[in-house]
Structure 1
Amino acid sequence: MSQRHQFSEVSLPLFESDEVVISQAIPEGKLPSYIADHRQRLRARFLSGGADAMPDYELLELVLFRAIPRRDVKPLTRDLFNKFNYFNGVITAAPERLLEVKGVGEAVICELKIVAATAQRLARSRV
């Protein structure tokens, strides 16, 4: 015999003042799967296609993954691009200016400066 499934719908907000809050309990210290999967997908795309397979903001996300291993770095990436406009602007920004962006600390600055130093060294050796 077949069983009937019943579904219920949540009404959608009609106006900005109407709010529908949907929350899902995530154990403390554990990343939601979409964040962990996002990191895995970006790494796989980078490894298979290199930097040319990714836009600048995703390349910056890869750098920030190392500095901030357990937090979604998309909002920080967006904030950095809003302030410094492009990848090179973020990488070469002065530490004092980077600290003006909420979420930037010593670990982020260190990773960004490692990338900048590496790029400079590569540029020198190819001349």
Structure 2
Amino acid sequence: MADEDRQVAQDAPHDGVGHRARLRQKLAQAGGEALHDHELIEYLLALAIPRRDTKPLAKELIRTFGGIGGLMSADWAAIARVPGMGDTSVAAIKIVQATALRMLRNEVAARPVLGSWQALLDYLRADMAFLGVERVRVLHLNSRNMLIRDDHMGDGSIDQAAIYVREVIKRAIDFGSAALILVHNHPSGSPEPSRQDIDVTRQIIDAGKRLGISVHDHIIIGAQGHVSLRAKGLL
């Protein structure tokens, strides 16, 4: 029996039905903005654990992961370690994240990336801003600047993930890319580029020029915002 199922069996009846009805009414009448972060998670968990008061668990999840963004981007195992969370509850959270990311990614793929920059930033922030490790991805574009591949190159440690120039260029050739946008996150929260970030970007630019592959930008994502190396004049 899963932890959440054991907990359900132990919990006494409470005013959960009436409370959930009030949350549902608030959602229906005023939309999601009318609910606090913990109330959004509380109602979501109530669908997965219908006979339990999920408010304390929702508040604990928000506290543990530092907010709703951190919770949604946390990996399955980390969420499951919170007492009271079983596979059904974790799946409820991860399916919401997957749905949101799919919607945002579809917005990016629907039109030229350079003409939908905010949609791209929204997608990258939702996926990477609250990760606990560095993630490197390369966005491959065709000659019309349409996204042809969102390439997850790998994850690293809490403060470093390797970007290999040869591997980036090799994959660009394999995909027939005309241009690239490099992306990685800083788990520290600050998106300010390091000397290494700038140097490896310039190495990839130089390697790509010989093959007619442009590098439009290198975007660094953090919980505190984002930095475009091109906008800062560093490319």
Q: Which structure is higher in helix share?
A: 1
In 2 relative to 1, CA 49–117 (structure 1 residues): closer, same or farther, beyond 3 Å? same
1:119 aligns with 2:119: no
Q: Write out aligned runs for 1:33-72 (5 A).
A: 34-72=15-53
For residues 44 and 31 of structure 1, the distance between their equivalents in structure 2, rounded to whole angstroms, comes to: 22
Identity of aligned residues (%): 37
The residue type paired with residue 49 of structure 1 is A
1:81 aligns with 2:62: yes
The residue type paired with residue 76 of structure 2 is P
The 4+ residue runs of structure 1 with deviation greater than 4 A are: none
> Which position in structure 1 is the counterpart of 2:13?
31
For residues 99 and 66 of structure 1, the distance between their equivalents in structure 2, rounded to whole angstroms, comes to: 17
Greater relative contact order (Cα < 8 A, sep 6+): 1
Query: What residue ranges of structure 1 are gaps of 5+ in the alignment?
Result: 1-27
Q: Displacement, 1:29?
A: 8.2
For residues 100 and 42 of structure 1, the distance between their equivalents in structure 2, rounded to whole angstroms, comes to: 27
TM-score between the two structures when normalised by the length of structure 1: 0.72
TM-score between the two structures when normalised by the length of structure 2: 0.40
Query: What residue ranges of structure 2 are gaps of 5+ in the alignment?
Result: 1-9, 109-235
- For residues 9-39 of structure 1, the C-alpha deviation after alignment (integer angstroms, 9 at most, x for no partner) is xxxxxxxxxxxxxxxxxxx98732x221100
3-state SS in 2 of match to 1:103: coil
The residue type paired with residue 106 of structure 1 is D
